[in-house]
Every structure is written in structure tokens, then in C-alpha cells.
Structure 1
């Protein structure tokens, strides 16, 4: 009788295992890659405010109440066609992958920034168009009007140049497809020969998305641009010391007065509902910051118990079912043994 029940239980467990197994199909993205050449180059035309003539970008030491010309030379390498270009100026921001974007056109002004590059430029010069004749060059000027009030630290942005004369019609489906060829020249602005390099990083908040994904919003609240930033983050249960998730990155770059989202835990990490703490150590050269913040993962955001992996890579729910079955079997065996002992007596 006991043997029969045991076989039934084993079959039940095997059925559960087969039910929770699934086939994951690979997903392939097909990108259309154009082999058309950009057919143009851009280069900086330096003013006397330039610190280094061979920098390859604009590194300007300016004075208050002055107008500084930022000139970009556009060379059309196509000897048979005149080409139109779009020129825009943007502000520097920090991408979530730890790189600096020198031409962000849509971001709101950081609350900790006194000025940003676009504050120094007239609306008519923020966006310009120019046509360069075939096989020739042309210069485009953006005038920086430095305010009367001094600004601390560094202001960063860039001049973005995009080729417009390059659209063609796809004859198969009638869609008008445009290839985008663009280049950027960074613009770095200071009012001191040696700008102050005192940086300060803060952990603004911790966001949790379903999965869960734990995202730490890090914020550079000073007008300082720096690189070689390493981030070492650990996630623990609140008031516990055991590390549940550890992530380390290196060589991040940070723009002045900017914030970025650091993915401390993605959906591949199995965190259930509960209260947690993120502990982060940041370092860039001699600069060091230690940032700690508590956060909560709700039942909706966390990994359901049915999907959480336990010992030997088996689902936690399956382990619970197995343990319950073992307890039932043990109870039955104990009852049978007790009854046999009672009959013998």
C-alpha cells in the first residue's frame, strides 16, 4: 500500500516538472545597414579662447560679458552634388551606459546647474541649415554670449552636424527612407584657467520596475566633468548583511550637473517582494562616495514564488510541493507504524 502511494507521488512530481518546463525560442532582429558613405567631414576653427590648438574639439577659456565665436568647417567630399546640412547645438548629459552625450536637445535643465551651453546662444543659431557646394567647404558660426555673472566649474555641450541631402525612395514598398549621417564636436567652457574639480555624487532615488529591475538614479550635482568612475553596488535584505546581488562597472564618464540611471539588478536576478538596501561605493581617482538607500519591492514587482529558483536550479514552488509531499508521506508512515505497534500490543 505504501509503495503504491509512493509511486503515485513520484509520478505526480514528474508531471509537475514537465508542466513547468518551457521552450524558449531565440528572437532575431534584422537591421538594415546602408553602405552609403557620409561624404563629408567637420573640423573646429579655433578662436583665441581655445586652450589647445590640437585638441580636436572646442576647449574654451572665456571671460564674462564677451562673445565667443564657435566656428565649424564643413567639407563636402562629393564633387558632383551640392549637399545641405543641419547644424544644432545641444547640452551634455550622461547616458545610462556611462558615456557622455554632447548633443542632447530634449533634456530639461538640471536643477543644480546655474547655466547650460544653450543658455549662451540665440534661438536663431541653435538650429541652422547650410548648403555646401560640391567639392568645397563652408564655415558655420555659433556665437556664445557669455553672461555678466561668473559661472563656476565647467559647462559642456556640442555642435551637431547632420547631412540632409541623402534621402531615397524604397521602390518595393513606396516608403521614403532616410539615412542619417551625423558628426559632433564637443564644446567645453570654463572661466578659470584651472576649473575647480570638486565633484559630488548623490543617490537621488531607487526605482523598481516589474521583473524586478532595480534602478539607482545617480546625480552629479556639481559643474564638474570627470571620467574613470567605478561603481560597486550590493543589494541586501534590509538589516541583513548577506549580499543578494553584486554589480561592478568601471570607466564611466560623467557630464557636469547631470544624472543617469544605473541598472543595479535586471530581471534575470530573482528578488521577491520585500524591503531591501542598496549599498554603493563610487570612485573616480581620489574622489570617493559611499551611498546607501532603502527601497521596497512590491508583490506585483517581484518575482513570483512559482518562478523563483531554489536549490539545484529547481523552482521554489516545486521544492515546497516536494517538501509537503514528503511530510505527508512521513505522516502516513508514522500512522501506519503506530497502528502496527498498537495491533501487536
Structure 2
């Protein structure tokens, strides 16, 4: 094997390593750049508060009627049926404000966007066609305090949402949303009233978790929510579980369950204490609440730990790397052996020349017997 072949071995080796290590990130990038097959654009009215906002940010009047116009277009080559649904802004269990169909509005809300707004609309679009969908929002006679936050959720009912399970980026294929923020007193500043409602232990995604239900009782959206939670054994005071959340947000008058997994260690049944520290900018909240881990839940958790035999696949990568290294060494050894064999068979080496010269010299030098004869 010559030097060029050795270089190709090395290039192939490095390419294979790159493929094995970089495939996941390439797949994730492809999912992030998936585009939807329809578009929704708000047609902003004159009472828009912020001209820079790309959503409805409107000042409304008590007993007033507000028209919301939304342009929906179908750039695809086939006909499409879309459904536009008014939704309330809520907070998901990931600790983020979301605009999706949900019944999770907190009872503390004076009024909601869906209560004020006309119902869902179905629109049929031919290929490359666009239409304007209109909704009417009516403000209560007494108006409202703070912000009413919702959205116009546009979806293709012919696409199964379950196909997006496990990869939120895929939701862009079948749904878009335009936020709607309504104010009677624009940008009214209210103190955030965050409460810890209760602490329970329930199954979440098939596994027992400590669930701390947090409620935003204020008609205002807020962000920069950081949470650090600790679970202590009430008897020993020892910390057994912990979880943190960074840069969360909560919709007005909404709630979510902050879940804390039971971890990878066995837990005993008994009394535990949740210590939860939350901040949002300069706002600080500290909560403490006791709860019980029942014997049944403890057995379930401990049994899952005992039966968890998920294989660790690190050894597969080690075997692959070892095989590639062996192939590389075999190729290198073959190349070195080939080169040495070629050197041994070359007649023009210094050793062959020296042997030939010595032989020539010995054949032309007179023998001792011939020298004696000449002298006599």
C-alpha cells in the first residue's frame, strides 16, 4: 500500500467518525427549518397600541366591539381547509406561556378572550388562494383590569397532531397562532400575585412526580421566571430531590404544575417538605409545603428503579472505534511491510554493489601459490 492509499484510509476513518457523531445535530436542524404549508397574517386596526408589534396589541373600550381581521393564505399547489380557533393564553407544565386550545384558565380571571370573542371559523382555500377571516370581540360593560390575552390559532384539521408528539418543532407543519393582547388601560402595571396552590404526588408521563401547582392570580403576563425547588425528608431534614427552571413565563390568570421527578434513588414512605424559591426580575417568592409520600407510591417508584434495565450502549461505540482502529493499524502494517519487501528486492542497494565489488577483486588478485611460482 502506498502513501496515497494510506491517506485515503485516514480520510475514510475520519469521515465515518464525523458521520456517527454529527448525524443527530443534522437531523435536529432539518426539523427546525420545517416550514408550514399555510400562513396567517394579522391585519392590524387603527387602535393598535404598538406599531412595532406583529400581533394584535389593542386598546378597547367598555361595552365596545372590536373587529379582528386575519389574512390566511395557501401557497401550496393543492386545495386546503383551515380552521381558525380563538384560544386563551395559558401556561404549560414546561413553565411557558402558550397559545393553544386549552381549558386551563385560572378561575381568578374576570373575563377571558374566548368569552369575549366569536366562535371558530372554517375556511376553504384553493391552491395559491388567500382569504380574510373576521372575528368580533365584545368588551364587558364594566371593562376589565389589566390584560386579556389570547390568540387566533390556525390549524389544518386534516393533519394528525399526534405526528408532532416528541418533537415540538413539527407543530409548525400544521398550526400557527397570532397573539391578541387587549387593554382597557394600556400597559397597566399590576403587582404579580403568585401562589402555591397545593403539592401532590401523581403520575406524570407514567412516572410518579411531586407536582407543585403554581397560580398567577394577576391579569398580566410576566416572564424571567426562575424556580429552584428542593424536597427534604421531614424527619431527617436531608435533601432528597431538586429541580430548577430558567427563564419561564406565565400567562395572565393561569396555572401550571411544576413537576419534580422522584429521582434515581429509593425513597421511603412518609412526610416530606417542598421548599420552592421563585424570582422574576426583582420579585421574589418563597414557598414551603408539606406532603405525604404514600407507601403505595414509594413501592411503585422503588419497583421502577429495580426493574429499570435500560441497556447502556456506550460499549457499542467502543467496539466500533476499536474495529476502526484495528483496520487502520492493519492498513498501516500492510503498507510498511510492502515497502520493506520492495526495498529487499531492489538490486541497486549499496549492499549488493559492495558484494559484487568484493567478488570482482578476489577473482583478479593472484593466489599465494601463483606468487611462489613466479618468485622461483
Match of 1:73? 71
Judge conservation of contact 2:90–2:105 (CA < 8 Å) in 1. Answer: no
Match of 1:103? 100
1:83, CA displacement in angstroms?
A: 2.4
Separation in 2, partners of 1:265, 1:304: 13
Residues 92-126 of structure 1, C-alpha deviations (whole Å, 9 max, x = no match): 11000012221324x1542111101011123xxx1
Match of 1:87? 84
Matches within 5 A, 1:23-62: 38-62=36-60
Matches within 5 A, 1:154-193: 154-164=147-157, 181-193=174-186
- Does 2:141 match 1:141? no
Separation in 1, partners of 2:159, 2:246: 38
1:131, CA displacement in angstroms?
A: 1.8
Match of 1:127? 120
SS at match of 1:89: strand
- Does 2:275 match 1:279? yes
1:285, CA displacement in angstroms?
A: 0.6
1:288, CA displacement in angstroms?
A: 1.1
Judge conservation of contact 2:34–2:173 (CA < 8 Å) in 1. Answer: no
Higher share in helix: 2
Residues 51-100 of structure 1, C-alpha deviations (whole Å, 9 max, x = no match): 1233111111211111111111111212x433221111111110000122
Q: Scaled by the length of structure 1, what TM-score is found? A: 0.69
1:250, CA displacement in angstroms?
A: 0.7
1:133, CA displacement in angstroms?
A: 3.3
SS at match of 1:195: coil
Judge conservation of contact 1:76–1:134 (CA < 8 Å) in 2. Answer: yes
Higher share in strand: 1
The CA RMSD over aligned residues, in Å, is: 2.7
1:264, CA displacement in angstroms?
A: 2.2
Judge conservation of contact 1:86–1:162 (CA < 8 Å) in 2. Answer: yes
1:266, CA displacement in angstroms?
A: 3.2
Matches within 5 A, 1:291-302: 291-302=287-298
Judge conservation of contact 1:201–1:219 (CA < 8 Å) in 2. Answer: yes
Q: Scaled by the length of structure 2, what TM-score is found? A: 0.63
Change over 3 Å in CA distance of 1:234–1:166 after alignment to 2: closer
Judge conservation of contact 2:63–2:143 (CA < 8 Å) in 1. Answer: no
Change over 3 Å in CA distance of 1:81–1:218 after alignment to 2: same
Separation in 1, partners of 2:71, 2:239: 54
Judge conservation of contact 1:162–1:180 (CA < 8 Å) in 2. Answer: no
Separation in 2, partners of 1:109, 1:97: 16
SS at match of 2:100: strand
SS at match of 1:300: helix
Judge conservation of contact 1:201–1:221 (CA < 8 Å) in 2. Answer: yes
SS at match of 1:302: helix
Judge conservation of contact 2:235–2:271 (CA < 8 Å) in 1. Answer: no
Matches within 5 A, 1:191-210: 191-209=184-202
- Does 2:264 match 1:268? yes
Separation in 2, partners of 1:197, 1:97: 24
Separation in 2, partners of 1:269, 1:99: 29
Query: Structure 1 stretches of 5 or more lacking a match?
Result: 1-32, 168-178, 310-345
1:134, CA displacement in angstroms?
A: 2.6
1:212, CA displacement in angstroms?
A: 4.2
Query: Structure 2 stretches of 5 or more lacking a match?
Result: 1-30, 161-171, 306-376
Residues 209-252 of structure 1, C-alpha deviations (whole Å, 9 max, x = no match): 36642111111111111111000111112265432222221111
SS at match of 1:150: coil
SS at match of 1:144: strand
Change over 3 Å in CA distance of 1:266–1:241 after alignment to 2: closer
